[in-house]
């Protein structure tokens, strides 16, 4: 039996990431976002939904670039802080959170280098929806903590230990265990 829930933007799981942008004055900002996804293969793109009253929105419009930084569960407190506090009120919020910052290698956006994975994106599209705009960035550069990178160039997901966001309960979660190989385990059927 099913129960009807009130409409909400419900999806499980979502990533909890940091969106890095530069302010007008060159100060780096980072905002926590869970409404992000890969969204194109040619070219390789990530997208993120940003509310129009956010500092990140203004920065993105002005600079045309952003970074997506994937944190570990050990960084959950800092990640949550960066989602609660605006760079408009605390321009030093990244330092207060204990996070380190670097210049992007390729795009005009800061990397939150304390995060194990940093993806640099150049803005190539946007869609105004309502309260939020979906920003699409072409992936221009990725770097990851050396000890996470396997010989074949993939990442060790267990060691990455990415932070997961669960809507409905507004909780951060960890990843569990591998369930199976994609484009493979379904071949047993049909």
Looking only at residues 28 through 67 of this chain, which bind a second copy when binding is defined by CB under 8 A? 34-47, 49, 51
Q: Does 125 bind a second copy (CB under 8 A)?
A: yes
Shortest distance (Å) from residue 59 CB to a second copy:
19
Give the Cα-Cα-Cα angle 37, 162, 19 (nearest 5 degrees). 50
Going by C-alpha positions, the residue among 44, 52, 53, 78 that lies closest to residue 163 is: 78
Interface stretch with a second copy, choices 20-28, 56-64, 135-143 (CB under 8 A): 135-143
Cis peptide before 57 (omega within 30 of 0): no
Binding mask 155-174 for a second copy (x = CB under 8 A): x-x--x-xxxxxxxxxxxxx
CB contact set of 119 (below 8 Å; sequence gap of 6+): 46, 67, 68, 69, 70, 139, 141, 142
* Residue 11, SS3 per DSSP: coil
Strand (E) or helix (H) holding 29: strand 28-33
Shortest distance (Å) from residue 86 CB to a second copy:
12
Query: 68 to 107, contacts with a second copy by CB under 8 A?
Result: 68, 70, 73, 76-85, 90, 93, 96-98
Q: Does 144 bind a second copy (CB under 8 A)?
A: yes
Choice from 2, 25, 26, 151 touching a second copy (CB under 8 A): 2
What are the structure tokens assigned to 29, written together? 């900002």
Q: Does 151 bind a second copy (CB under 8 A)?
A: no
């Amino acid at each position: 039996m099913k129960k009807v829930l009130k409409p909400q933007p419900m999806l499980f799981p979502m990533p909890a990431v940091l969106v890095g942008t530069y302010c007008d004055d060159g100060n780096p900002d980072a905002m926590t976002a869970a409404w992000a996804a890969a969204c194109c293969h040619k070219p390789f793109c990530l997208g993120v939904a940003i509310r129009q009253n956010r500092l990140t929105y203004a920065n993105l419009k002005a600079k045309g670039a952003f970074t997506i930084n994937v944190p570990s569960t050990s960084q959950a407190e800092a990640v949550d802080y960066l989602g609660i506090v605006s760079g408009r009120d605390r321009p030093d919020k990244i330092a207060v959170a204990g996070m380190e910052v670097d210049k992007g290698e390729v795009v005009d956006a800061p990397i939150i280098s304390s995060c194990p994975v940093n993806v640099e994106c150049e803005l190539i599209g946007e869609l105004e929806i309502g309260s939020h705009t979906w920003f699409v960035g072409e992936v221009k550069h990725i770097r990851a903590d050396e000890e996470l990178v396997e010989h074949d160039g993939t990442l060790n997901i267990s060691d990455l230990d990415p932070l997961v966001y669960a809507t409905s309960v507004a909780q951060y979660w960890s990843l569990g265990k591998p369930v199976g190989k994609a484009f493979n385990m379904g071949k047993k059927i049909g």
